[in-house]
Amino acid sequence: MLAHGRTARDDALVTRERPEADLSPQLLLSAYAQGAFPMADPNTGRVDYFTCDPRAIFEPQTWQPSERLARTVRNGPFEIRVDSAFDAVVAACATDRSDENRSWIGERIRTAFHELHELGLAHSVEAWVGDRLAGGLYGVAIGGAFFGESKFTVREPWARDASKVAFASLMKRLRRSGFTIVDSQYANPHVLALGAVDIPFDQYLERLHAAMALEVDFK
């Protein structure tokens, strides 16, 4: 069921002869519990489950925004809303960023996360400027673990840093609610700059299972 490797492209080479991933809510939740996550090939749309070692995580109980981000949160133009435009956030996240950075969020994944949202398990955090959606993020909450999937910011000057502000709001909410881990999957310079840390996969699984056993509420 699960592929394991350093990059999504390498993992896809391992799984291309297997049946395409089952994205039913039950299988998605099972995959998350095993440390896996779905990604679609941007060329074919095929979906597989992936893992990575090391694993990038955030720690809500100790995370703090940078001074610059904290000023933007305090003084910026954004109103934060939760779950008011989930499908719009996922659709925006699914837009290709460039020819070199194409989206892994295919139509099957969008449908699957809509179903999880309807079940109260997938959530969006949105940054609005008036009636305009400036940016946001979405992910899945299970116990005290939040699985961050993707985020976006509208490419306009009035929306600058919108997804970062949404992320800061998410972390505040998770800390207040007692969440202990945010899964960020593969590390990249952007999430590392936001405060993510890499940990070995076996350590990630230990912390994940402890977090999922907590009785906490995203709301």
| CATH code assigned at 143 | 3.40.630.70
Does residue 198 surpass a pLDDT of 60? Answer: yes
Does residue 98 surpass a pLDDT of 80? Answer: no
- The percentage of residues in the chain with a pLDDT greater than 90, rounded to a whole number, is 82
In a domain, 194, yes or no: yes
In a domain, 127, yes or no: yes
In a domain, 191, yes or no: yes
Tracing tokens 């840390």 back to the chain, one arrives at 197
Please tell me the pTM assigned to this model. Answer: 0.90
* Per-residue buried b or exposed e for 102-125, using 16+ beta carbons within 10 Å of the residue's own CB: ebbbbebbeebbeebbeeebbbbb
Q: Are strands 47-51 and 37-40 parallel, antiparallel or unpaired?
A: antiparallel
Assigned token pair, 210: 């402890």
How many domains does the chain divide into? 1
In a domain, 105, yes or no: yes
Q: What's the whole-number mean pLDDT along residues 48-52?
A: 94
What's the mean pLDDT when you consider all of the chain?
A: 90
In a domain, 50, yes or no: no
In a domain, 45, yes or no: no
Does residue 152 surpass a pLDDT of 70? Answer: yes
Which structural domain range is residue 195 located in? 55-212
In a domain, 177, yes or no: yes
In a domain, 91, yes or no: yes
**What is the pLDDT at residue 76?**
93
Phi-psi region of 73 (alpha: psi -120 to 50; beta: other; left: phi over 0): alpha
* Band of residue 112 on the pLDDT scale cut at 50, 70, 90: very high
**What is the pLDDT at residue 131?**
97
